[in-house]
Amino acid sequence: MKKSEGQSDSHQEKVLNLIDSGDTYFTVDIAKKVNAFYKALKIINENLTIREQRIVWCVMDGMSYEQIVEDLCIAEGDFNDDIQSIYKKLSINNESELANLLKKKDLFGSRF
């Protein structure tokens, strides 16, 4: 992972660089999972709006669509539009593919 000269590393980039360099105490399997998670997180952060990101985290926390609509005070129609936008931006088709993209539940069990 290269960076532009003068560009400071974010925390995520530092973790990825540490993993990529092999300077970790992780097993190879865990290092690969962490790397995949941060790459997926970067894709989400760079491609989704703040509201779409919040929806993704709610889904990953196991909330139903009805709970998300209520919790985030979103109209059902707007929520459906947001979900379709998330799927399109991430090139996925459903909630299962979203879970597989992050593989978060396998790695962390719950959000940070």
Most distant pair of Cα atoms in the chain: their distance: 47
Tell me, which fold does domain 49-104 have in CATH?
Arc Repressor Mutant, subunit A (1.10.10)
Tokens (6 digits) for 73: 């005070």
| Domain residue spans of the chain | 10-47, 49-104
In the predicted model, is pLDDT for residue 57 greater than 50? yes
Q: What is the pLDDT of residues 64-105, one digit of tens each?
A: 889 999 999 999 999 999 999 999 998 889 888 887 776 654
Would you say 52 and 82 are in contact if contact means Cβ atoms under 8 Å apart?
yes
Look up residue 13 and give its DSSP letter: H
Across all residues in the chain, what is the average pLDDT? 77
In the predicted model, is pLDDT for residue 8 greater than 70? no
Provide the residue type at 73 as one letter: C
How open is the CA angle 10-12-15, to the nearest 5 degrees? 115
Percent pLDDT > 90 in the chain is 29
